[in-house]
Amino acid sequence: MKGLGSILRRHYLLLAVGPLALAGMLLGVYFMVLSLGMARDVEQLRAGQAALRVQDAVERLFGSLRDAQLQRDLADMRPRERREALLVFMSGHPMVRRITLIGADGRELLDLSDHLPDRLDSGESWRERPEFAVPAAQGEAYVSGVVRHPDSGEPGLNLAWPFMDPVSGRVRSVAALHLQLSALLKVVAGYALLPGETLFLAEEDGAVIVHPDTSLVLSGAAAAPPGPLGFARAPGGGGPQVRAQSLLTLGGRRFLVVADRSLYEALGPAMNGATLLAALLVSAAGLAFVLAARSREVIERPLLRLAETARAIGEGEAGRRAGTGGYAEADLLARAFNGMTDRLERAREVLELEMAGRAKAQSALERSEALLKLHLDTTPVGCIFFDAAGRITAWNQAAERIFGWKGAEVLGGNGADVLLLPEEREQMLETFRDILERGRAITVNRNRTRDGRIITCEWHSSRLTENGQAVGVASLVLDVTERLAAESRLYAGLREKETLLQEVHHRVKNNMQIISSLLSLQAGRHPDPRFREMADESIARIRSMALVHEKLYRARSMSEVDLAGYLQTLVGKLAASLGEGGRFTAATECGEVSLGIGQAVPVGLIVNELVINAFKHAFAGRASGLVRVRAETRDGEAVLTVSDDGLGMPPGFAPERAEGLGWQIVTGLTEQLRGRLDVTPGEDGGATVRIVFPLADPAPPRPGPAAPGDAPGGA
């Protein structure tokens, strides 16, 4: 009986511990598989998040370049201003190790680097390099493949961004940047890594290009793609890893963002549970009878609840949680299981947010497409799209109004057959091929409408590209037939008015010459010498005014007088008539000054009075003398100076109190010019008269009855 009892006790122990051990092993295996799947999903999520962070960092870099395009173009800045602007840009983007500004002609304007001296306007040609050739030809950003730093061997990318002229649409300059990929890794690692986790970048074929362990980069190590269960070896022959990877696309280039986590760390919770379960079995062997008595209430039911929870989660009930309580180890296992399911739930929420964001972006894209279609349908400018073979692919309502054809009638048809005249077909097809090669063109063509009319249209055409290849042409069309006819009528009227205005100036000059001739005849017959002197002065004044009209008659512009030529002719004639055979001379110095007739006539009369006054009074009792006339501009004002080396002005002389007619004319005309009059002793002993007035026609006189024969300009 004693031996039978011992056998029963041993069998009872087996019956008590055996099912528990089997359940523990099965549960441990289940936890291992579940933990591996969860770890693989979490790493896939983190790889995707890291790829999004890198994509966002590069998009912000391009966004900064787009913002710079809205400001004053860098090509128009002085070299120092360009350097300061690009230094500020590099300080805001630490991943940019080098930036080069290239002009529209392909010559280097500025080169900044964190390891090389700055270069300003070196003139180096970039025309053959893709960093300039691609943006300059296509007007789009360019991203190179992975390139190695010549000194450190660190991988990087070469980017190029075109700055466009908003008016002409041409490339004004190109910014070429060297982007350090290790800086992108810092962006990826900007948030806390999980224990045992590594994030790195690889090329599409798996070659490691950025890794915390730089020796793997320099040795050219490769990361194998994850197997069916998500297992892979660490680059360089490391231990087993749970691996996930996400595709990263930058400017048409494809890279991989790889997330590795140590298999031990990934399966840590499950391994801890299995270890805890083994300890439970060892303890259960010593307390077999006690555990057998309470196994159903304390162990079996919690494990059944935990298994039921695992089954429900496996069937899709992600919010299901295991009940706690009961045996301490089972409660701890349930809490660990709940912790893993909580992390899985958070990962699911992150995925839902990402999906919602993508749905929002898709909705925004659809709204943008709808707005673009509405814009094309409502714009008054004809919009026509062609494929590379010249077939019409899009035709808006404005194009229907211009050419008369409905969109359904021409879509898919050959644009040359629909729009071109037979005699211009070959030339226009050559222009179309040139647009496909060069990018854009603006042409004015004769086109035909549906009803057979010939109209003149202005075409603004640009090349359409896809993956760097020309796929068609987009054209904006304006019917300029009426505008060109109106411009032709306007130009004809303008030429007629210019001819009439020249005739007016010619006749005014002739009339003034007749007046001066009549006055000269009358003075020659008058016995009073004083009268003849006054008549000569009046004749000189009339000739100075007539000279203005002669200059306008002979000049290209009907509204402005070249002051240098006018003063040289006027002063030369006065010196010839009053210089007493060359004893007294005059010289003129005049910069590039142009005056309207409203200012030229008063200036001519002033110079006439001052030069005559100098010849008559400044050189009394002297054998020779020199009069200088000078005109220049300063800060929007004209400065007229008449000086001589004669006797100078009497003490206490003030022009506003002078009784002579000449000084009254000078002061009155100075007021008419809104100028300032100063009379000072000259440097060489004579007198200097300086008149400063603004470079603008004086305010016109108030309306009122004009006396017959009034001189133009109020003189």
* CATH number for position 416: 3.30.450.20
| Contact call for residues 322 and 334 (beta carbons, < 8 A) | yes
Element (H or E) spanning 384, and its range? strand 382-387
In this structure, are 94 and 242 located in the same domain? Answer: yes
Span 513-562, pLDDT tens digits: 677 676 666 666 677 777 766 666 677 667 666 666 565 545 555 568 78
Q: Residue 692: which pLDDT band, with cuts at 50, 70 and 90? A: very high
Q: What is the DSSP letter of 192?
A: P
Alpha-carbon distance of 288 to 9, in angstroms, equals 10
Max distance between CA atoms of the chain, in angstroms, equals 181
Q: Residue 700: which pLDDT band, with cuts at 50, 70 and 90? A: very low
Mean pLDDT value across residues 253-263: 80
Which among 421, 448, 479 is the end of a domain?
Answer: 479
Q: What is the pLDDT of residue 598?
A: 81
Range from 55-59, 525-529, 617-621, 686-690 carrying the lowest mean pLDDT: 525-529
Which among 417, 449, 479 is the end of a domain?
Answer: 479
Answer yes or no: is pLDDT of 398 > 60: yes
In this structure, are 503 and 590 located in the same domain? Answer: yes
List, in sequence order, every residue forming a beta bridge with 626; answer none if it has no partner: 585
In this structure, are 231 and 264 located in the same domain? Answer: yes
Domain count, the chain: 3
Return the axis-axis angle of helices 481-525 and 529-554, rounded to nearest 10°: 160
Q: What is the pLDDT of residue 690?
A: 92
Span 160-180, pLDDT tens digits: 888 887 777 788 888 888 887
Task: For 219-244, give one letter per residue: b (16+ CB within 10 A) or e.
Answer: eebebeebeeebebebbeeeeebbbb
Determine, yes or no, domain membership for 334: no
Element (H or E) spanning 82, and its range? helix 79-92
- How many helices (H) and strands (E) the chain has is answered by 19, 23
Q: Residue 676: which pLDDT band, with cuts at 50, 70 and 90? A: very high
Span 88-143, pLDDT tens digits: 887 777 778 788 888 888 888 888 887 778 787 777 888 888 888 888 888 788 88
Answer yes or no: is pLDDT of 3 > 60: no
Q: What is the pLDDT of residue 266?
A: 72
Q: What is the pLDDT of residue 715?
A: 24
In this structure, are 498 and 594 located in the same domain? Answer: yes
Alpha-carbon distance of 585 to 575, in angstroms, equals 6
Determine, yes or no, domain membership for 280: no
Q: What is the pLDDT of residue 675?
A: 92
In this structure, are 497 and 475 located in the same domain? Answer: no
Alpha-carbon distance of 635 to 695, in angstroms, equals 9
Determine, yes or no, domain membership for 203: yes
CB-based burial label for 683 (10 Å; 0-12, 13-18, 19+): exposed
Return the axis-axis angle of helices 328-378 and 2-70, rounded to nearest 10°: 30
Distances (CA, A) of 332 to 245, 269, 274, 303, 347: 33, 11, 12, 12, 23
Q: Are strands 584-590 and 625-634 parallel, antiparallel or unpaired?
A: parallel
In this structure, are 450 and 513 located in the same domain? Answer: no
In this structure, are 463 and 512 located in the same domain? Answer: no
Determine, yes or no, domain membership for 295: no
Answer yes or no: is pLDDT of 693 > 90: yes
Q: Residue 339: which pLDDT band, with cuts at 50, 70 and 90? A: confident
| Contact call for residues 445 and 435 (beta carbons, < 8 A) | no
In this structure, are 400 and 493 located in the same domain? Answer: no
CB-based burial label for 344 (10 Å; 0-12, 13-18, 19+): middle
Q: What is the pLDDT of residue 702?
A: 41
> Which tokens in the block code for residue 114?
């964190």
**Type of residue at 114:** D
CATH number of residue 669's parent domain:
3.30.565.10
Determine, yes or no, domain membership for 141: yes
Answer yes or no: is pLDDT of 84 > 60: yes
- Nearest Cα residue to 549 out of 581, 516, 585: 516
> Does the reported pTM lie above 0.75?
no
Answer yes or no: is pLDDT of 450 > 90: no
Element (H or E) spanning 309, and its range? helix 301-314
Provide the residue range defining the domain that includes 606.
Answer: 486-714
What average pLDDT does the structure give for the chain? 76
Determine, yes or no, domain membership for 37: no
Q: Residue 710: which pLDDT band, with cuts at 50, 70 and 90? A: very low
Determine, yes or no, domain membership for 27: no
CB atoms near residue 285 (< 10 Å) = 12
Which among 251, 269, 287 is the end of a domain?
Answer: 269
What is the total residue count of the chain? Answer: 715
- Classify 625 as helix, strand or coil: strand
Q: Residue 712: which pLDDT band, with cuts at 50, 70 and 90? A: very low
* DSSP notation for 88-146: HHHHH-TTEEEEEEEETTSBEEEEEESSS--EES---B-TTSHHHHHHHHH-S-EEEEE
Q: What is the pLDDT of residue 286?
A: 52
Residues 6+ apart with CB under 8 A from 160: 130, 131, 132, 134, 135, 141, 142, 174, 175, 176, 177
Give percent of the chain with pLDDT exceeding 70. Answer: 73
Determine, yes or no, domain membership for 308: no
Q: What is the pLDDT of residue 294?
A: 58
CB-based burial label for 461 (10 Å; 0-12, 13-18, 19+): buried
Q: Residue 638: which pLDDT band, with cuts at 50, 70 and 90? A: very high
| Contact call for residues 43 and 232 (beta carbons, < 8 A) | no
Q: Residue 203: which pLDDT band, with cuts at 50, 70 and 90? A: confident
Alpha-carbon distance of 590 to 568, in angstroms, equals 9
Q: What is the pLDDT of residue 714?
A: 30
Q: What is the pLDDT of residue 292?
A: 55
In this structure, are 593 and 509 located in the same domain? Answer: yes
- Nearest Cα residue to 640 out of 675, 684, 671: 675
- Classify 414 as helix, strand or coil: strand
Q: Residue 246: which pLDDT band, with cuts at 50, 70 and 90? A: confident
> Which tokens in the block code for residue 231?
């297992």
| Contact call for residues 285 and 14 (beta carbons, < 8 A) | no
Distances (CA, A) of 354 to 40, 183, 184, 349, 351: 18, 25, 21, 9, 5
Q: What is the DSSP letter of 508?
A: H
Span 596-630, pLDDT tens digits: 878 888 888 888 888 888 888 878 778 788 889 99
The Cα angle at residue 397 between residues 394 and 399, in degrees rounded to 5: 70
> Which tokens in the block code for residue 706?
């004009």
Answer yes or no: is pLDDT of 71 > 90: no
Q: Residue 694: which pLDDT band, with cuts at 50, 70 and 90? A: very high
- Nearest Cα residue to 232 out of 255, 200, 254: 200
In this structure, are 537 and 420 located in the same domain? Answer: no
Residues 6+ apart with CB under 8 A from 508: 546, 549, 712
In this structure, are 492 and 597 located in the same domain? Answer: yes
In this structure, are 490 and 472 located in the same domain? Answer: no
